[in-house]
Amino acid sequence: MAYKTYGDFWAARESGNLSLPAVRRIGLSDLQYALRRGLDDFWAMPSHLVFLGLIYPVAGLLLARLAVGYDALPLVFPLAAGFALLGPVAATGLYELSRRREQELETSWKDAWGVLKSPAMPSIAALGLVLMAIFVYWIYTAQTLYIWNFGYANPESPDTFLREVLTTPHGHALIVEGMFIGFLFAVFVLAISVVSFPMMLDRHVGPVTAVLTSIRATARNPVMVAMWGLIVAVGLAVGSAPFLVGLILVMPVLGHATWHLYRRMVE
């Protein structure tokens, strides 16, 4: 059953009619399978063209904003890391490509935009807004941590900022606090989104059903979901290193692979 709102969910729970899709226990072989299928989808469909058109404009606008002054310099790393929180909704078009290819439909990279016409779009947009709110709160938290450790003064230069962060007690505290709190944000987003967006696209369920199923899948496969999160984090880090160029490969492969991971986890 697709629960559109939390009211529907609690009403079903009280009446004893609560019903959610069954989730499977997966293993390392399933993660490997998802990655292989994701890479296969990538080579079969030139979805990297979509990211060629999206990554560089976004990155260019961000760098242009940061070039104006150093007031946003402390937020460069939180922004770069926080974009991963929006990855599940950004990859929805890739899920659509994998879905069409799985059904042996004629597919091109242009079909990624077909998700905008899907009946699931309102649910996808609603959960996407939730992830956006989490992203904004993460940036606010990161800024608060910086002010807590360094005060309101802006860095004089990038070199000064890096030296203060890497060589002072306040900088070390900022690194530890930021990594710990960022980890909590990442775990929460991973738990509610690991299968939710593909599931909404595939079954046209409401965001509540999708999120609850995602949490159940995570609870049943905590180690495998943690490993998947680590794979995503490492992939994004490696892809971001050479001026974001690697993301042209990494992001589509991870997006396609997430669809196949959903297929392995949800019956």
pLDDT tens per residue across span 216-242: 999 999 999 999 999 998 988 887 776
Question: Of 90-94, 110-114, 137-141, 163-167, which range is least confident?
Answer: 110-114
Lowest mean pLDDT among 17-26, 29-38, 176-185: 17-26
For the chain, the domains span 25-265
Helix (H) or strand (E) holding 53: helix 48-67
d(CA 252, CA 248): 7
Rounded Cα distance between 185 and 202, Å, is: 26
3-state secondary structure of 23: strand
C-alpha torsion angle, residues 39, 42, 43, 46 (rounded to 10): -170
Residue 2: pLDDT band with limits 50, 70, 90: low
User: Average pLDDT, stretch 2-30?
Assistant: 66
| pLDDT, tens digit (0-9, with 9 covering 90-100), for 49-104 | 666 556 655 665 565 565 455 567 777 788 777 778 888 888 898 899 999 999 98
pLDDT band with cut points at 50, 70 and 90 for residue 38: very high
